[in-house]
A and B are shown apart, each in its own frame.
Chain A
């Protein structure tokens, strides 16, 4: 019997996305964010998470969402990517999803080499579709060049 996947589900626009629960440290309300000069547009800045400085990415901007509404339901998913903590702003996040691994299909071909190659699969949960994303790629795509520059500087 296939292993169950434990996911944290969050919503951006009308879609539900999922990331493995093991990567998510906590989910917090959106506090005041300090903007950082020269950061890419989808990087909101940094916050103080109980004494730690955590970088904040607006995942909605990152996913190219057109209308971004600030509401009380907005949350920050604090995740660990490549051993660094990053906060992701999402429209809402509240559910833990459990689905069998065999319920996940490979992403449609069109995603594979386009902008959306951070989608690792589409899961079916009853009549809903959950888009599984790979956070490392989400945070790197388009950043590779910048990273390279930083590396050259150091």
Chain B
């Protein structure tokens, strides 16, 4: 199961260049100290620790990096970026990898994508996030009806699950226009919106 990696065949220099160009980070400055992995609050759910994702990018192992679960489980909290001694914005690299994976049609953790789409749908509709709406859409998309349903009473009691959406003072339209612009660009560039 742990086959040796044929670097002549699997190393893809254009992948390294593409990640560096899209993320704006110089991944060769990473010296693999592990600070990013040490502080990662989502690390328990990763199949590859974030420092190994960085290593994969350094070696140009496109497929193993883009197929990893880790890039989908990343919370974008940016603790890794903040701790990096070499000032690499690791979270930006993770985000770049997610975009690249999506563009290539690899979504290793589909329910994460579904959750995000549900979340973004409510933002587009109301201009701000709407928790109940996100929950409902996610349940419909994923058919995971009972996920975390036990947390609902506590969340409602604490006012974290408001029924009505909060619409910002300028209305929801300006935010929807941002989505429209993104959608057009995505269509031009051939990304799944």
Pairing of A with B: no
Instruction: Mark A residues whose CB is within 8 Å of B.
Output: none
Instruction: Mark B residues whose CB is within 8 Å of A.
Output: none
